[in-house]
Chains A and B, each alone.
Chain A
Amino acid sequence: MSIAVQHFPVLVVVVSLLSAITIFIAGWLNRKTACCISIATLLAQFIASLFVLHHVMTVGTIHYRLGGWVPPWGIEYVMDALNAYVLVILLFLGLICAIYSKRNIEHELPGKVVSFYTIYQLLITGLCGITVTGDIFNMYVFIEITCLSAYALIASRGKIALKASFTYLVLGSIGACFFLLGIGFLYAVTGSLNMKDLSILLPPLYGNRVVLAAFVFFIVGLSIKMALFPLHTWLPDAHAFAPSEISAMLSGIIIEVSTYAFIRVAFSVFTLEFIKLLPIFEILSWVAATAIIVGSILAIPQSNLKRMLAYSSVANMGYIMLAVGLSISAFRPPWGGLSPALMHILNHALMKGCLFLAAGAFIYKANLWDIKDFRGLGAKMPYTCAAFVIAAISMIGVPPSVGFVSKLYIILASVEAKRFFFVGVILLSSLLNLIYFWRVIEMMYMKREEPSGHGHDSVASVSHDEIPASMLIPILVLSSLCILMGVFWLARGPIPVLDKVNLLFGLVKTP
């Protein structure tokens, strides 16, 4: 098995790409096969990613040379603890969303099922590619594959989604161009594109203006992709009007993978010594703190549930970037280094995935978009609403949910870094979270249907009207994981993975 695992990094990408083509051809013959092939592929990829994570944790980093070319000339795929961890998360949520979309897509996009799954697999290919690659130009290509599929998937519902997708396309392309320009600057001074090689060649050039400019271009480019606060303007519409499973993928995975790309570029290409030369992470944590507050405040007046969740994503990207910003000044395990940031990547994927899929369920069942239409929904769709509430209180940060663990760790990290202001920011944002999620929960449970003359009728007419099992089970799995994973974090189950990442980037030693 150990030898086979060596090939899994490339297989994860290739299998996904081939399945996109297979779905297209098989779907042409029989429309029903599309979903099955997609789910089967994702399941295989998910199992492979678990093997990779196990291998990385027990044996060590996997290097795969594409075509047998020796790096730095050939493209190399490198799997270490960081990308194995992200790969598992993204394939898990990808699998959950594929199962969910079986019924939902037949309902939302009838006649487009085959093309939906084809592009969905391309999206997964791009995401896996960003994660596994050890070559910076290769990363650019995969970022573009991901985003191109995302534009198409967002636009698939038509109408407002078209405009939202176009805005995302323009901003996303500018972001990708900045990333490419950053690569160009690094290539101009080093002549290399391999990340490992770059990290060896760059240290003598750290004072160089070209290198500084390259770093700035990487930050700005990826900030657009991850919708960090002042550059978030494309996000609310794109997330609100995409099909719900794509909203879940966008919020839970795509912007997170951009964060992964940022961490990879900052710590693997440029190293800790470079980051410490500049106050860039200090600035980044202040920007992120602004993002948390502004995102939360903007979420409050939204009447459209998915738009509200989208603004909440802006705030949550703030959490992740705040944790990344603090990573170079807090070192004590278990909350030191990148641990809180990586922890929140997983936790946000679970919570936001669950919330968006639940929001999609309301749209599926009754075409409900606005929060004010949710009266009495708690009685009509008890399981979906319960799952929504669990994910919502997890976002607020009630122990022992995942949201609580993330917030606790970020607070502990900011206390260690002596940035007490950020503790206040986290607490304030929890309060704001409470305000905007409570509004929804109150609508669902507290308010009865207004009696229209026959007061007793409205109580009697409440009948269960749940979504199909293939949609309900993914939601319930995610919501139960919101609690179980929180307990697991508190029991320090996955902490060794995060410790290994910190060890890799030299973020454990005492300052």
Chain B
Amino acid sequence: MEWFIAKIFAKYNYWVFIILMMIGFYGIVAKDNLIKKIIGLNIFQTAIFLYFISLGAVKGGTAPIVDEAIIQKGYVYANPLPHVLILTAIVVSVATTAVALSLVIRMHREYGTIEESEIIEKLSDERMLRT
């Protein structure tokens, strides 16, 4: 039991991020619907963001606004750097999602479906994918 607590509960943030990441990965690999694939990709990315954010947390830490008076009282701060990194990474992830969704819209216009297997079927009819 002690082992269980030490390995799982004390480091639950890492477990949560791994489990979320695997859920996202399952979505990407197993789902046939392209929108569901994108959702899986988003979960996958968000899991990594959560990992970064949990790195920056400090027990009892307040918001990282530096003020001499507060430092003298002995307050500690959360590490702001992972937050900044993840702000950038979120922007990247939003851009990726936007590009992916626009591709899906165009594929829907072209083939009338967003199921990957049906699109592949229609593609193989086209001349160029013969090999």
Asked if A pairs with B, the answer is yes
Interface residues of A (CB under 8 A from B): 137, 140-141, 144, 148, 151-152, 155, 158-160, 162-163, 165-166, 169-170, 173-174, 176-177, 180-181, 184, 187-188, 193, 240-241, 301-304, 307, 369
With contact pairs A174-B28, A188-B55, A304-B131 given, residues A141 and B99 touching in the complex (Cβ less than 8 Å) = no
Q: Which of A163, A176, A241, A307 has the most CB of B within 10 A?
A: A163
With contact pairs A184-B52, A304-B128 given, residues A141 and B92 touching in the complex (Cβ less than 8 Å) = yes
Residues of chain B with a CB closer than 8 A to A307's CB: 131
Contacting residue for B104 out of A152, A166, A180, CB 8 A:
A166
> How distant is the Cα of A162 from the Cα of B109 in the complex, in angstroms?
11
Task: Tell me the smallest distance from the CB of B129 to a CB of chain A, in Å.
Answer: 6
Asked if A148 and B104 make an inter-chain contact with CB atoms under 8 angstroms apart, the answer reads no
Contact mask for chain B residues 21-42; partner A; CB cutoff 8 A; 1 contact, 0 none: 0000100100000100100010
With contact pairs A159-B110, A170-B41, A177-B45 given, residues A144 and B92 touching in the complex (Cβ less than 8 Å) = yes
> How distant is the Cα of A170 from the Cα of B41 in the complex, in angstroms?
7
With contact pairs A155-B106, A241-B128, A303-B130 given, residues A173 and B123 touching in the complex (Cβ less than 8 Å) = no
The chain A residue with its CB closest to the CB of B79 is A191
The chain A residue with its CB closest to the CB of B126 is A160
Asked if A158 and B110 make an inter-chain contact with CB atoms under 8 angstroms apart, the answer reads yes
Residues of chain B with a CB closer than 8 A to A151's CB: 99, 103
> How distant is the Cα of A363 from the Cα of B102 in the complex, in angstroms?
27
Q: Is B62 an interface residue (CB 8 A)?
A: no
With contact pairs A162-B110, A170-B28 given, residues A180 and B48 touching in the complex (Cβ less than 8 Å) = yes
Contacting residue for A177 out of B44, B88, B119, CB 8 A:
B44
Asked if B106 and A163 make an inter-chain contact with CB atoms under 8 angstroms apart, the answer reads no
Asked if A155 and B103 make an inter-chain contact with CB atoms under 8 angstroms apart, the answer reads yes
Asked if B107 and A173 make an inter-chain contact with CB atoms under 8 angstroms apart, the answer reads no
Q: Is B58 an interface residue (CB 8 A)?
A: no
> How distant is the Cα of A301 from the Cα of B130 in the complex, in angstroms?
11
Contacting residue for A173 out of B41, B104, B131, CB 8 A:
B41
Asked if A184 and B48 make an inter-chain contact with CB atoms under 8 angstroms apart, the answer reads yes
The chain A residue with its CB closest to the CB of B40 is A170
Residues of chain B with a CB closer than 8 A to A304's CB: 128, 130-131
Residues of chain A with a CB closer than 8 A to B8's CB: none
14 A-B pairs besides A148-B99, A174-B44, A176-B92 with CB distance below 8 A are A141-B92, A148-B95, A151-B99, A155-B106, A162-B110, A166-B104, A170-B100, A173-B44, A177-B45, A180-B89, A184-B55, A187-B55, A241-B128, A369-B128
Interface residue SS majority, chain A? helix
> How distant is the Cα of A174 from the Cα of B26 in the complex, in angstroms?
12
Task: Tell me the smallest distance from the CB of B122 to a CB of chain A, in Å.
Answer: 10
Residues of chain B with a CB closer than 8 A to A188's CB: 55
Asked if A181 and B106 make an inter-chain contact with CB atoms under 8 angstroms apart, the answer reads no
> How distant is the Cα of A140 from the Cα of B86 in the complex, in angstroms?
12
12 CB-based A-B contacts, threshold 8 Å: A148-B96, A155-B103, A160-B123, A163-B120, A166-B107, A170-B100, A173-B96, A181-B51, A187-B55, A187-B82, A240-B128, A304-B131
Asked if B48 and A144 make an inter-chain contact with CB atoms under 8 angstroms apart, the answer reads no
Task: Tell me the smallest distance from the CB of B17 to a CB of chain A, in Å.
Answer: 9
The chain B residue with its CB closest to the CB of A154 is B103
With contact pairs A170-B41, A187-B82, A301-B131 given, residues A158 and B106 touching in the complex (Cβ less than 8 Å) = yes
Contacting residue for B99 out of A140, A152, A369, CB 8 A:
A152
Q: Is B85 an interface residue (CB 8 A)?
A: yes
Asked if B48 and A166 make an inter-chain contact with CB atoms under 8 angstroms apart, the answer reads no
Q: Which of B48, B99, B107 has the most CB of A within 10 A?
A: B99
Asked if A177 and B82 make an inter-chain contact with CB atoms under 8 angstroms apart, the answer reads no
Contact mask for chain B residues 54-81; partner A; CB cutoff 8 A; 1 contact, 0 none: 0100000000000000000000000000
Residues of chain A with a CB closer than 8 A to B100's CB: 166, 169-170
With contact pairs A166-B34, A188-B55, A304-B131 given, residues A159 and B126 touching in the complex (Cβ less than 8 Å) = yes
Closest 5 A-B residue pairs measured CB to CB? A144-B92, A162-B107, A166-B103, A302-B131, A303-B131
Contacting residue for A170 out of B37, B106, B129, CB 8 A:
B37
The chain A residue with its CB closest to the CB of B52 is A184
Residues of chain A with a CB closer than 8 A to B107's CB: 162-163, 166
> How distant is the Cα of A467 from the Cα of B48 in the complex, in angstroms?
49
